[in-house]
Each structure stands twice: as structure tokens, then as C-alpha cells.
């Protein structure tokens, strides 16, 4: 249990580790889904190709979209891309980094599915069984069979129980031939994906390490800023609700006293603390205006003393920030007479 707890804490350490864990779980789930999938080739000339390629390509596409859906950064990317310019510029390099990072993680599960499917060989056997070279592997001069009948016989190669073309080509020979081709394609696909991942990981720092670090830093900043903003809004909502409830009960208590029902009144100890957390925003309209201002006009990324906010943004736009004057340095000199 301690090991699982440590793994879980590592996945929760930051957004990147969490998404790596999600992608790893999806990759394992894709292999389990394929092993539990009941593959049934239709064994018909006009349907084998569509069924085989559909099983090979459609689930990876679904897994790719699912990888984007499970990634929490997709909403953050869309929000950052569609928000107004405001007081903060939008860096296209950061948006590209976020999209590429999500796409790389979302491609893990589809790549695992395609690799497992090609190494298993059932999809390729079903899709291309009618393309087996009968001239070199079987008896192409078999009498009383037209070209259409030969295609129907070859289409039954994946279905060993109903295959009736042993005189034309042996079922074991055709299946082994197609499975070898499928496994060769699978290993080539694995080698290609591994090579691409190696090149991306090793060559990217050699060309744009500074730009990569900048994009990665501001991507993490946007994620942390969004989390802190949500936490601040949740804390403000809690304080707002607490003050509203306290005022409601105080009003009810006043009405009961006016009705000659003398009840003991005790001022809540945390009323002042909850009121301080409201930060002067004490009505619904002001809070809605603050939320709209955050979306339309985010503050610039500098740590100078901010200007006073207005209804549409920041009042001190375009004015240089005022720096505090440097403290005066005093020097003491000592003289000695010898």
C-alpha cells in the first residue's frame, strides 16, 4: 500500500506528472481492451477490408480524442486562445507548446493499440486475405473456379471453420504469410515511433532550448494561475455565503426580539474574519464585473505596484511604474594622529 500511495502522490505532484499517469493508464487500458475484444471477421469479399482497417484505425482515433478530453489543459488552452488581448499579450509559442504537449501524450494510447494490433496480425489477415498471391503460394490453375469465386474462397481464410479452399491454397500457409507481413509492419511501426520520440527528446534542446524553457515556464504559470484564481474565487464564495447566512440569522433574531421573544444573542467570532476575506466585493454585480474584467483584461505580468482598477481594466495603463527611492548611504571616516 505504501508503494501505491507513493505512486499516487507522484502523479498528484504536478499537472505534467498527473497527465503522464493518465496516459500510462490509458495505454494499459488499450491493451486490455484489445485482449478482451472478440474479433470476428465477416469473411466476405466486400466487408473484410472495411472491418479489418476499421478495427485497426477507428479505436486509435477514439483513444486520441479521449486523451484530449481527459487532459485538463485542453480547456485552459482554448480559454487562453480565445480570450481578448486585454492588458496581457498572448504568446503563440506557449500555445504551440501546450498543444504539442497534449498531442504527444494523447498519441501514446493509439500508438500502443496500433502496435498490439499489427503484432497480433488478425486485422491484416482479415483485411488483405483476398490479396494473397495464389500463384506463388497455392494452385492458381484450379479448374471450375472463376475470379469471383476465388475471391469468395480467399475471403474465408480468417474463418478456419468454414474455409473450403484447401485445394486452392492451404489455410495455414495463407494465415502465416499475412501474419508475418503484419508483424513486420508492427515492428517497423514500433521502431518508427521510438525513433521519432528519441529525436524529439534529444534534438529539441540542441536548437531551441531557451525558447523551450520559456514556453514551458509560462505554460506552468498559466496552469498555476488558473488554479490559484479558482481557489481564491472558492474562498471568496465561502466567505460571501457565510456573511449572508449570518446576516440572515441576525435579521431573524431582530424580528423575534421585536415580537417580544427574548433570545440570547451572541456575536459570531469569525464574522469579522469572513468580512475581511470579501476584499470589498459585497454584492453580485460587483463580483460579476470582477470576473468579466479578469477574462477580458488580465493584469500584465510584472510585479510593480499595480494601479487602481477601473470598470474596464487598469487605470494606470501606459504610465511607467514608480520605484521606491534607494536608501541613502552614509559613510563614516575615522582619522588617527600618529
Distance separating alpha carbons of residues 116 and 56, to the nearest angstrom: 10
pLDDT value of position 10: 54
CA angle 1, 35, 180 (to 5 degrees): 130
pLDDT in tens, 91-103: 888 888 888 888 8
Is residue 229 within 8 A of residue 76, CB to CB? The reply is no
Where are the chain's structural domains?
A: 1-207, 209-258
- Neighbouring CB atoms inside 10 A of 56's CB total 19
Q: Which has the closest alpha carbon to 33: 105, 106, 113?
A: 113
Q: How far apart are CA 116 and CA 30, in angstroms?
A: 9
309 burial (CB, 10 Å; 0-12 / 13-18 / 19+) is middle
Report the 10 Å Cβ neighbour count for 59: 19
3-state secondary structure of 309: strand
The helix/strand/coil state of 180 is: helix
Q: How far apart are CA 297 and CA 315, in angstroms?
A: 12
Distance CA 176, CA 173 (A): 5
What pTM, to 2 d.p., does this model score?
0.71
DSSP state for residue 131 in the 8-state scheme = G
Residue written as cell 506557449? 94
Least confident of 133-142, 175-184, 217-226: 133-142
Sequence-distant (6+) residues with CB within 8 A of 161 are none
pLDDT digits (tens, 9 = 90+) for 35-77: 888 888 999 888 999 999 999 999 999 999 988 888 777 888 8
Lowest mean pLDDT among 197-201, 260-264, 333-337: 333-337
Amino acid at each position: 500500500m505504501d508503494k501505491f500511495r507513493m505512486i499516487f502522490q507522484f502523479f498528484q505532484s504536478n499537472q505534467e506528472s498527473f497527465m503522464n499517469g493518465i496516459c500510462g493508464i490509458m495505454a494499459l487500458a488499450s491493451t486490455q481492451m484489445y485482449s478482451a475484444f472478440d474479433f470476428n471477421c465477416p469473411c466476405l469479399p466486400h466487408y473484410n477490408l472495411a472491418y479489418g482497417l476499421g478495427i485497426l484505425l477507428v479505436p486509435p482515433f477514439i483513444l486520441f480524442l479521449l486523451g484530449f478530453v481527459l487532459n485538463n489543459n485542453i480547456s485552459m488552452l482554448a480559454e487562453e486562445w480565445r480570450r481578448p488581448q486585454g492588458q496581457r499579450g498572448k504568446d503563440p509559442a506557449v500555445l504551440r507548446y501546450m498543444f504539442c504537449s497534449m498531442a504527444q501524450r494523447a498519441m501514446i494510447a493509439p500508438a500502443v493499440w496500433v502496435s498490439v494490433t499489427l503484432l497480433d496480425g488478425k486485422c491484416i489477415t482479415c483485411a488483405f486475405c483476398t490479396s494473397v498471391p495464389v500463384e506463388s503460394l497455392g494452385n492458381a490453375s484450379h479448374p471450375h473456379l472463376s475470379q469471383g469465386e476465388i475471391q469468395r474462397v480467399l475471403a474465408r481464410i480468417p474463418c478456419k471453420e468454414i474455409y473450403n479452399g484447401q485445394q486452392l491454397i492451404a489455410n495455414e500457409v495463407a494465415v502465416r504469410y499475412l501474419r508475418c507481413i503484419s508483424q513486420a509492419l508492427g515492428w517497423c511501426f514500433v521502431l518508427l515511433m521510438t525513433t521519432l520520440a528519441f529525436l524529439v527528446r534529444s534534438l529539441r534542446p540542441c536548437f531551441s532550448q531557451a525558447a523551450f524553457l520559456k514556453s514551458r515556464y509560462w505554460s506552468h504559470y498559466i496552469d498555476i494561475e488558473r488554479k490559484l484564481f479558482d481557489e481564491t474565487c472558492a474562498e471568496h464564495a465561502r466567505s460571501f455565503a457565510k456573511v449572508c447566512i449570518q446576516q440572515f440569522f441576525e435579521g431573524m433574531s431582530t424580528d423575534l426580539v421585536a415580537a417580544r421573544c427574548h433570545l440570547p444573542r451572541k456575536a459570531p467570532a469569525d464574522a469579522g474574519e469572513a468580512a475581511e476575506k470579501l476584499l470589498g466585493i459585497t454584492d453580485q454585480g460587483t463580483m460579476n464585473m470582477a470576473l468579466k474584467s479578469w477574462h477580458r483584461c488580465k493584469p500584465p505580468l510584472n510585479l510593480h505596484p499595480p494601479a487602481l482598477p477601473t470598470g474596464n481594466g487598469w487605470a494606470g495603463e501606459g504610465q511607467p511604474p514608480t520605484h521606491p527611492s534607494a536608501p541613502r548611504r552614509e559613510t563614516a571616516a575615522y582619522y588617527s594622529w600618529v
